[in-house]
């Protein structure tokens, strides 16, 4: 129980690698020393001095750093500080984040649409299938010659986006790109990475099997007649707080547009090249993906400026759609990402022609609305194989490295010793994904430069997500001593089980507090979090946050082992 442990000592509640950096944060300035104590015997195993005080730019609160990196003995411990008591327990051992990585990938299984989750795979969170999505209506905004208003298409499978039950192409896009890139970056790591899913014994890595569940849905979202891709598959309004199988409102596919179509092209191009190596398992699927990608690309060329704007849409068409918008006003970054994937898959540099790669500007952190970094990562990954011009290769390396160098400035002054939170804007809706995606960028930079400082900072952001933060929460459900118990997640709310569905990443602090929940206890950016299911702005879960969490935890596991 969290109340048994010193709330003012904050650390990764899972633990640390024997040879890596080990840091805890002690809130307040009074104390100057700490001890590491064996969890079972209480014996002191390490004594250290706390750092000079540091001040949070968000709350003005003071903290000091307890660095016990020199202590390398495997075991289970707590940090003790006089007057504060003992911290949450943690372990020091090899592969310390293995279970975190597995659980975060398994989290996607629990989000599967149109399939029963049996007890042998889902444990106490077993549930009947929800949303067969075999009879989905074509919305007035999405009609074409062969698909008039209210005609019916089948669009089953996929993952629920988040705490709600809708399926959005844009957000599926970045999620799939992140997971498929993880596979391409560390393929052999997934040879024995078992998450106990229905396909676990089919000779294909579980990571890919999981991604295929969503890929097969995505493929149904393309209008085969012209190649355009619907924005989302959705109810008109959000479901109540009921289990998936109890949510039976009609569902629609909505307006084809440029951004969604390019995200689709990127994902299907990437999947197509990966699946080439699994032709015996999934005959023809690789080709189908690549054909779909090319068709989507061609559609986008012909329709380069159709943006999803839900308010405008609702003025023109009925019924009104008021679910997640994922609207965008520019497709410049989607072009970069799609072009990069098309080039990497086909080997045709022509795909980059006429695309402004924007490597002369700072790289934007990947989010659902800013995906160009995914394109950079892919071009770097394949630069040898597809013979990316050396000048471009250099620019890409520079822009990614500069992103990480920017993050590292003044790390030693940060109250939680993390790059996360240095900028106020890090605490936006889904801030946990900011921390995770910064970590991913740092790992790309580590692989480009081999400088361990980048890997260390990435690990620091994983520490942030698992408890070394101003809320003291471990943000991954099912983990930690101070746990998220009430995420805004319909199945977790409606299933009558005390523990939330595990392996899901809570959104994290967000001073916007758009949900207007009355249970927030702080307005400071880094503390603006409430573990209450009313809080869709700070405590929802979402696939695009889980994906970089899987990436960060799994890649660190792979790299610490290498
Ligand atoms: O992650 C999205 C965030 O960037 C936006 O600010 C927010 C409001 O538009 O929406 C978030 O996405 C939500 C989506 O619209 C619907 N499903 C739940 C998503 C996570 O909260």
Instruction: Enumerate the active-site residues.
Output: 531, 540
For β-strands 54-55 and 62-67, DSSP reports them as: antiparallel
Q: Give the pLDDT score at 2.
A: 76
342 near 293, Cβ under 8 Å? yes
| Max CA separation in the chain (angstroms) | 76
**162 within ligand 1 shell (Cβ under 6 A):** yes
How far apart are the CA of 510 and the centre of ligand 1, in A? 12
Q: Give the pLDDT score at 3.
A: 82
* Short-list 433, 458, 436, 432, CA closest to 445: 458
Residue with structure tokens 């398992």?
281
Q: Whose CA is nearest to atom 6 of ligand 1?
A: 429
- Token reading at 396: 């890409």
**324 within ligand 1 shell (Cβ under 6 A):** yes
**161 within ligand 1 shell (Cβ under 6 A):** yes
A 10 A CB-CB count for 354 gives: 9
How far apart are the CA of 380 and the centre of ligand 1, in A? 30
Tell me the β-bridge partners of 16.
92
534 near 519, Cβ under 8 Å? yes
Say if residue 319 is preceded by a cis peptide, omega within 30 of 0. yes
**325 within ligand 1 shell (Cβ under 6 A):** yes
Distance CA 340, CA 41 (A): 56
Residue 234 CA, chain-centre distance (Å), reads 21
How far apart are the CA of 267 and the centre of ligand 1, in A? 20
Residue with structure tokens 């580590």?
446
Q: Which of 162, 175, 364, 535 to mutate to test the pocket of ligand 1 (most atoms within 8 A of CB)?
A: 162
**430 within ligand 1 shell (Cβ under 6 A):** yes
Q: Whose CA is nearest to atom 14 of ligand 1?
A: 324
pTM of the model: 0.98
Q: Give the pLDDT score at 63.
A: 98
Cα distances (Å, whole numbers) of residue 538 to 172, 432, 505: 20, 9, 11
Atom of ligand 1 nearest to the CA of 326: 15
A 10 A CB-CB count for 465 gives: 33
Cα distances (Å, whole numbers) of residue 103 to 181, 196, 334, 408, 417: 19, 10, 30, 29, 26
Distance CA 483, CA 92 (A): 20
**pLDDT by position in tens, the chain (length 562):** 778 899 999 999 999 999 999 999 999 999 999 999 999 999 999 999 999 999 999 999 999 999 999 999 999 999 999 999 999 999 999 999 999 999 999 999 999 999 999 999 999 999 999 999 999 999 999 999 999 999 999 999 999 999 999 999 999 999 999 999 999 999 999 999 999 999 999 999 999 999 999 999 999 999 999 999 999 999 999 999 999 999 999 999 999 999 999 999 999 999 999 999 999 999 999 999 999 999 999 999 999 999 999 999 999 999 999 999 999 999 999 999 999 999 999 999 999 999 999 999 999 999 999 999 999 999 999 999 998 899 999 999 999 999 999 999 999 999 999 999 999 999 999 999 999 999 999 999 999 999 999 999 999 999 999 999 999 999 999 999 999 999 999 999 999 999 999 999 999 999 999 999 999 999 999 999 999 999 999 999 999 999 999 999 999 999 997 6
The DSSP code sequence of 217-242 is: HHHHTB-TTT--BEEEEE-SS---S-
Tens of pLDDT, residues 456-497: 999 999 999 999 999 999 999 999 999 999 999 999 999 999
**508 within ligand 1 shell (Cβ under 6 A):** no
How far apart are the CA of 537 and the centre of ligand 1, in A? 8
Tens of pLDDT, residues 83-129: 999 999 999 999 999 999 999 999 999 999 999 999 999 999 999 99
**429 within ligand 1 shell (Cβ under 6 A):** yes
Burial group, residue 60, by CB count within 10 angstroms (0-12, 13-18, 19+): exposed
Question: CA-based angle 479:60:66, to the nearest 5?
Answer: 50
For β-strands 167-168 and 252-256, DSSP reports them as: unpaired
Distance CA 431, CA 508 (A): 5
Residue with structure tokens 């799939």?
176
526 near 427, Cβ under 8 Å? yes
Atom of ligand 1 nearest to the CA of 514: 8
Q: Which of 325, 371, 430, 537 to mutate to test the pocket of ligand 1 (most atoms within 8 A of CB)?
A: 430
* Short-list 97, 19, 13, CA closest to 549: 97
Q: Give the pLDDT score at 1.
A: 76
Contacts (Cβ under 8 Å, ≥6 apart) of 46 = 35, 36, 68, 70, 71
How far apart are the CA of 325 and the centre of ligand 1, in A? 8
- Token reading at 215: 């890929």
Distance CA 349, CA 335 (A): 14
Q: Whose CA is nearest to atom 18 of ligand 1?
A: 162
For β-strands 62-67 and 230-234, DSSP reports them as: unpaired
Burial group, residue 70, by CB count within 10 angstroms (0-12, 13-18, 19+): exposed
Q: Where are the alpha helices (DSSP H) in 8-118?
A: 98-110
Q: Whose CA is nearest to atom 2 of ligand 1?
A: 429
- Describe the strand order of the beta sheet including 62-67 as a list of residue ranges: 9-10, 23-27, 62-67, 54-55
User: What are the structural domains of the chain?
Assistant: 98-348 (1.50.10.10)
Question: CA-based angle 421:446:381, to the nearest 5?
Answer: 115
Contacts (Cβ under 8 Å, ≥6 apart) of 31 = 50, 64, 81, 82, 83, 84
489 near 500, Cβ under 8 Å? yes
Q: Whose CA is nearest to atom 16 of ligand 1?
A: 324
How far apart are the CA of 324 and the centre of ligand 1, in A? 6
């Amino acid at each position: 129980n969290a109340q048994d442990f010193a709330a003012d000592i904050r650390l990764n509640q899972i633990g640390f690698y024997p040879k890596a950096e080990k840091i805890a944060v002690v809130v307040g300035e009074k104390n100057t020393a700490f001890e590491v104590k064996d969890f079972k015997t209480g014996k002191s195993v390490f004594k250290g001095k706390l750092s000079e005080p540091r001040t949070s730019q968000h709350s003005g609160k003071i903290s000091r750093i307890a660095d016990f990196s020199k202590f390398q003995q495997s075991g289970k411990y707590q940090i003790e500080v006089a007057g504060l008591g003992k911290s949450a327990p943690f372990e020091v051992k090899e592969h310390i984040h293995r279970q975190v990585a597995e659980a975060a990938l398994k989290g996607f299984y629990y989000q599967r649409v149109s399939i029963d989750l049996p007890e042998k795979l889902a444990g106490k969170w077993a549930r009947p299938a929800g949303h067969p999505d075999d009879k989905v209506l074509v919305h007035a905004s999405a009609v074409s010659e062969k698909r008039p208003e209210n005609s019916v298409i089948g669009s089953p499978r996929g993952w629920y986006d988040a705490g709600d039950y809708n399926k959005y192409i844009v957000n599926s896009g970045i999620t799939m790109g992140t997971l498929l890139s993880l596979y391409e970056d560390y393929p052999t790591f997934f040879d024995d990475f078992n998450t106990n899913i229905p396909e676990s014994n089919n000779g294909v890595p579980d990571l890919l099997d999981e991604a295929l569940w969503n890929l097969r849905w995505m493929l149904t979202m393309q209008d085969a007649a012209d190649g355009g891709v619907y924005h989302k598959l959705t109810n008109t309004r959000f479901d109540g707080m009921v289990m998936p199988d109890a949510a039976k409102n009609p569902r629609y596919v909505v307006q084809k547009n440029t951004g969604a179509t390019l995200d689709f092209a990127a994902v299907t191009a990437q999947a197509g090249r990966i699946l080439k190596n699994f032709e015996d398992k999934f005959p023809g699927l690789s080709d189908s993906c690549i054909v779909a990608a090319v068709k989507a690309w061609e559609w986008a060329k012909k329709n380069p400026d159709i943006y999803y704007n839900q308010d405008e849409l609702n003025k023109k068409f009925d019924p009104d759609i008021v679910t997640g918008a994922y609207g965008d006003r520019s497709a410049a970054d989607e072009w970069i990402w799609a072009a990069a994937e098309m080039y990497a898959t086909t080997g045709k540099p022509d795909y980059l022609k006429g695309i402004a790669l924007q490597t002369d500007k700072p790289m934007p952190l990947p989010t659902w609305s800013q995906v160009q970094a995914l394109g950079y990562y892919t071009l770097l990954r394949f630069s040898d194989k597809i013979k990316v011009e050396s000048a471009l290769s250099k620019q890409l390396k520079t822009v990614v490295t500069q992103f990480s160098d920017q993050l590292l400035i003044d790390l030693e002054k940060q109250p939680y010793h993390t790059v996360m939170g240095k900028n106020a804007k890090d605490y936006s809706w889904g801030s946990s994904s900011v921390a995770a995606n910064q970590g991913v960028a740092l790992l790309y930079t580590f692989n480009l430069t081999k400088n361990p400082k980048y890997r260390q900072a990435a690990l620091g952001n994983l520490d942030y997500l698992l408890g070394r933060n101003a809320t003291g929460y471990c943000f991954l459900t099912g983990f930690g001593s101070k746990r998220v118990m009430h995420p805004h997640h319909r199945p977790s709310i409606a299933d009558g089980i005390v523990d939330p569905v595990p392996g899901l990443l809570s959104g994290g602090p967000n001073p916007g507090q758009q949900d207007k929940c009355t249970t927030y206890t702080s307005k400071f950016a880094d503390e603006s979090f409430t573990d209450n299911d009313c809080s869709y702005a700070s405590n929802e879960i979402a696939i695009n946050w889980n994906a970089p969490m899987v990436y960060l935890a799994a890649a660190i596991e792979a790299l610490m082992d290498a």
